[in-house]
Chains A and B, each alone.
Chain A
Amino acid sequence: MTFLHPGLALAGLAAVAIPIIIHLLMRRRRRPIMWGAMRFLLEAYRKHKRRLRLEQLLLLATRCLLIACLALALGRPILGAAGLLGGRKATTLYLLIDNSLASSATGADGRTALERHKQMARRTIEQLDSASGDRVALLALGGPAEAIVLPPTSDTSAVRGLIADLTPTHSAMDLTGAAERVRTHFAETEPRQGRAIVLVLSDFLAGSADTDRPLVQLTERDDAVVLASLPAATGVDNVSIESVQPLRTVMLTDWAAAPDATSTSSIRVALRRSGPWVSRAGETHLRVRIVAADGREAATSAEVAWKPGETKTTRVVSLSASPSPGRAVVVVEASPDAVAGDDVWRRPIEVRRSLRVAIVAPRRALNGSGLNPNDSADWLRIALSPIVIDRQRFTARETSGEIDVVTIDPGSLDTARLADLDAVFVTHPDLLDGGSWSRLRVLADGGGLIVVVPPSGAGVTVWTDAFTSAFDLDWTIGREPREHDPALGLAAERSVPLESDLLAMIAAEFQELSRPVRVWKSLSISGGSQSGSDAGSRLVELQGGEPFLVTAAPGGDDGTGVGLVVLFASSFGAQWTDLAAQPIFLPLVQEILRQGVGRASGSWTATAGVAFETPAGVVELRNDAGRTVSLAHAVPLRHAGLWRAVDERGVERGLIAVNADPAAGRTDALGRGAARSWLSRLSGAGVRWLADDDATGAAPVRDAVSVSEILTDAPDDTKASLPLLIAALLLAALEVALARWFSHATVATKAAKAGAAA
């Protein structure tokens, strides 16, 4: 037996103790009477002791039973599949309302789909009768699905208020998650009481109905009805920004040298359009802005022309800006359309005056500018700063505009020297001890770039174990270099996606530039991802498929999702390869540095409704509207916006842009057939379309059914509260009679009258 108001029932049952407590309290309150004629009282008591006890027990039992009956009646019990006082079976309505991004699509009538869903939900709830035991649960489908009211409640007015407060999210519909919640609820509350109606209110546009995600069957009970609103017959025109990718995630501006200098950024914008207008040509206006931390912004516009049938396009927009150093945000806005939520995309970028790079290499025996062709460090200095100026005796410091290069001896690689570096090139890893590797790991976890080049000398490599262990990499690096005879060239084709490629800027020239490169020796590297990903990828391969340049993010339990490790398979020495002497070397190193630092510091973009990683030490997120989300209760954010990641000391650790789920913005009509096929998994009995009782002028749907029909179709059943109330009334009358009888008030009155007459 379950209750509509279990709390009330429990409280009432607890009240059964009241008569007992009163009885005990009354026993304590009375002062004893010192009685002289005790022998007669004892004599009378001995004669009637059993009767008195029986009377007291009967009276107490009656009173307790009376309160228990009242409590149970107030708790509104549901017996079996029974209803209550009403004339039909109790019904539990599970309202699953689509408030995903697609539900914000404005229709021809000027109303959004969500507004129509809310109106339908309110009308449906009004048909419920709380007095009959009807209850309602509410789940919002904007991913991830949110159980707003579950378990169901009989307080329909409160649910109506919650429905009115629903707003569209920027995430995709999560019907799968909602179905899981309802199914779990069903399983936990079995055997359920009364009839269950699961009503899914959505337009089932392509962005809402992710048919690739199979649904789960809610229950095997045959009295659970699954209803769904009719899918939209036609879609609505919409353009979604699918991605915004600055080709450089780190902008370098040397303000000290030229305060008015500007940097040009190239931003790649991917768009998708959906809806009926796909068959026609169209135009979309783009506005691209870079908003600096100080509020200054630079903007440009671009037009995108759509050809008939074209659904996706990419546009690279160049924008000159002079943002102040710090964090900036690239904001791309598309011209307004039916769905406003996916018309804006935000992407944080880093703005630096310069990059600070260290080359970890031993101090050269002779001070001078001569090049040792077998020393990778010398080649790197040239590549990073073509003009070399010695400023210190022991740690040579070179300055070349946007890149500051320092050389650190492997033996003096301490935390202080690593403190403010963006990248470290290790050309003599064999000279580093375990502590040095650990300090480099700390630098990587803080968003640093670590580039490792094998030492030029021949022999067995033992440093690789400490290296892979320090960065928790699953690479297996050969102990001895493998010699290639004849020498191998670099593979012209690369399978790494452009979005995650450090070499995107030279991708077009890479094939031409890499052609003269020859490699005579290289370390074998295996393990890690074979394709491009944030976790690890092969940037460049040798002819034959062996990796030549690989990247990975530090792993292990301490991995924070930031930092980047780059490993060359060959030293830059002349005995290994002529790469350093080829024209590709300088752009290759420069791109690895500039793009790698951006990648290592983390891009910090997220998709609404999808879980994401945050910088290390972050405990909460704050937005400009004053809203705060604690990561202790981390849930995917459902709404787009900029969030400041704050650590426990209140220090900002990064900027996270949450953007609308581009997949959720597809507004093509799914069609009844596809929708029914997808939804049919929810119930073994299939899904029935919901007929709109108030719809006027609309063509009737053949197999549609209204909620009112289902409700009136429910047969009457056993009522539980009414018998309990009647029983309580009878018990109350019995209690009065017993109390009067057992108290002998009548006898006393008669005796008093008799005494008075005498």
Chain B
Amino acid sequence: MADETRSAVTAQRAPEEDATLYLHPATLARLKSFELRAKMIVEGIMSGQHRSPYQGFSVEFAQHRPYVPGDDVRHLDWKVFARTDKLHLKQYQQETTLDLIVMVDSSGSMAYGSRRFAEASGIGQKLSPRGGLNWTKFDHATALAAALSYITLRQGDRAGLVVYADAIRAMVNRSSAMGTWRQVVGALSTHPIDQPTDIGRAVDQMLAKVTNRCLIAIISDFFVDPDQIRAAFARVRHRGHDLIAFQVVDRDEVEFDFTQTTPFVGLEGEPMLRVDPRALRSAYLEAITTHAEQLERTTRGFGFDFQQVNTHDWLGPPLATFVARRSAQMKRGKYG
């Protein structure tokens, strides 16, 4: 009886525990180096990280944090050093609030994946928590979102999460507590729905709940009308937020190397189409490439960042890009 009860408890694992599957061990392993790299950046290059745009007006002490190379030595608390023989910085309220809001697309098109889950998860588990055999774009997006949140929270910044499709489906308010990461992972433990993306509506709903400036990371395949994306990004820009667009694509979607005449069924309710893929390959690739280029142009046109993420690649490059680009922008004084 006791064994049965234990088995039942084991089977009903908490969502956040299941969500850890999205974090490839390799990715998690990389995270430490990112953190270290971040520390190196902060200590060696970004002295005095996250310069507050409100510096000079509000210097309310918030907390101490360990010194990392690169920090402005002017903010060293020498008194603490004298007592503990350790270097600590004094942090102020505005300087410590890098609010990251990760928006994860859970529309139907994100349910596609050609990579085996067992190979992508890295832990030998053949089925995803949702029972799928494949590592979908949504799986990749949630892993990326979790990693971004983790990094942010480990740096002491606030992280929040929005899961959306045609509207916001789930949301985690921003917080810098490490428990937030578990909430984020728990919110990510969902699945795509058979609905198209309405990024404009989701962004509007998100912006309605955000008052201060944030860094918004949108993780989506962006298989929507470019005008809709442009309008959404414009509103983000207008509100003074920064944005990074991670476009998650599957290798099949960008290579389209099918060879047999096959019926294709849309994941967002599109009609079935039976075609010879070889006959449509060039036209398809042209369409999807044009869309990606247009998306990148639009994103960069607003001064935002754009990164295409392939589900068959590991999460290191986008994370590195994220940290590097953020660091560079911080260096340029984007927030200062």
A-side residues, CB < 8 A to B, are 26-27, 30-45, 47-48, 52, 55, 742-745, 747-748, 751-752, 755
Contacts and interface: CB of A to CB of B under 8 A. Distances in A.
Contacts of B257: 748, 752
A36 B276 contact: no
A48 B263 contact: no
Contacts of A43: 283-284, 287
B221 interface: yes
Given A37-B223, A39-B270, A48-B280, A30 B264 contact: no
B281 A34 contact: no
B275 interface: yes
A751 B253 contact: no
Given A39-B223, A52-B280, A33 B260 contact: no
B264 A32 contact: yes
B117 to A, nearest CB: 16
Nearest to B264: A35
Nearest to B268: A38
Contact of A40 (B271, B279, B287): B287
Interface residues of B, number: 42
A36 B261 contact: no
Interface string B277-315: 011111111111001000000000000000000000000
Contacts of B287: 40, 43-44
Given A36-B109, A36-B221, A44 B284 contact: yes
Given A41-B284, A44-B280, A45-B275, A36 B250 contact: yes
Contact of A36 (B110, B272, B274, B278): B110
12 contacts: A30-B262, A34-B111, A34-B112, A34-B267, A35-B264, A38-B270, A41-B273, A44-B286, A44-B287, A47-B283, A751-B282, A755-B255
Given A26-B261, A30-B262, A755-B255, A48 B267 contact: no
B58 to A, nearest CB: 46
Nearest to B278: A744
Given A35-B265, A44-B280, A742-B279, 4 more contacts: A33-B262, A33-B263, A35-B112, A40-B284
Nearest to B269: A38
B109 A744 contact: no
A640 B31 CA distance: 110
B88 interface: no
Contact of B278 (A27, A44, A745): A745
B261 A38 contact: no
B223 A32 contact: no
B266 interface: yes
B275 A52 contact: yes
B108 interface: yes
A747 B285 CA distance: 12
A40 B255 CA distance: 13
Contact of B109 (A37, A55, A743): A37
B51 interface: no
B279 A37 contact: no
B24 interface: no
B264 A38 contact: yes
B10 to A, nearest CB: 31
Contact of A744 (B264, B279, B291): B279
Contacts of A33: 258, 262-265
Contact of B280 (A31, A38, A41): A41
A55 B276 CA distance: 11
Nearest to A30: B262
B169 to A, nearest CB: 18
Nearest to A47: B283
B275 A748 contact: no
Contacts of A45: 273, 275, 280, 283
**Binding site of A, secondary structure by majority: helix, strand, loop or mixed?**
helix
B137 interface: yes
B227 to A, nearest CB: 14
A319 B282 CA distance: 109
Given A38-B109, A42-B270, A751-B285, A32 B265 contact: yes
A38 B266 contact: yes
Given A37-B288, A39-B223, A42-B270, A747 B282 contact: yes
Contact residues of B: prevailing secondary structure: mixed
A751 B111 CA distance: 27
B257 to A, nearest CB: 7
B265 A36 contact: no
B253 A37 contact: yes
A743 B267 contact: no
A32 B273 CA distance: 9
Contacts of A745: 278
A704 to B, nearest CB: 69
Nearest to A56: B276
B108 to A, nearest CB: 7
A42 B284 CA distance: 8
A48 B291 CA distance: 18
A462 B84 CA distance: 160
Contacts of B275: 41, 45, 52
The residue in B261, B278, B279, B282 that gathers the most chain A C-beta atoms within 10 A of its C-beta is B279
A38 B252 CA distance: 12
Contacts of A744: 276, 278-279, 281-282
Most buried by B among A26, A44, A742, A751: A44
A32 B263 CA distance: 5
A41 B265 CA distance: 10
Given A36-B253, A747-B282, A755-B255, A41 B276 contact: no
A556 B272 CA distance: 78
B165 to A, nearest CB: 13
Contacts of A34: 111-112, 265, 267
Nearest to A43: B287
A742 B280 CA distance: 10
State the 4 A-B residue pairs at the shortest beta-carbon distance, nearest first: A36-B112, A38-B266, A44-B283, A36-B109
A47 B287 CA distance: 11
Contact of B111 (A36, A52, A55, A752): A36
Contacts of A30: 260-263, 274
A45 B279 CA distance: 9
B267 A36 contact: yes
A755 B286 CA distance: 14
Nearest to B110: A36
B223 A48 contact: no
A35 B268 CA distance: 9
Contacts of B223: 36-37, 39-40
Nearest to B262: A30
A742 to B, nearest CB: 6
A361 B250 CA distance: 118
Contacts of A37: 109, 112, 221, 223, 253, 284, 288
Contacts of B264: 32-33, 35, 38, 41
A48 B284 CA distance: 10
B229 to A, nearest CB: 13
A240 B306 CA distance: 117
Contacts of A48: 279-280, 283
B216 to A, nearest CB: 23
Contacts of B271: 42
B290 to A, nearest CB: 9
Contacts of A32: 262-265, 272
Contacts of B274: 27, 30
A35 B267 contact: yes
Contacts of B110: 36
B270 to A, nearest CB: 4
Most buried by A among B110, B111, B250, B284: B284
Contacts of B291: 40
B254 to A, nearest CB: 9
Of A31, A743, A752, which is in contact with the most chain B CB atoms at under 10 Å from its CB? A743
A19 to B, nearest CB: 14
Given A35-B266, A38-B267, A755-B255, A743 B285 contact: no
A674 B109 CA distance: 98
A73 to B, nearest CB: 30
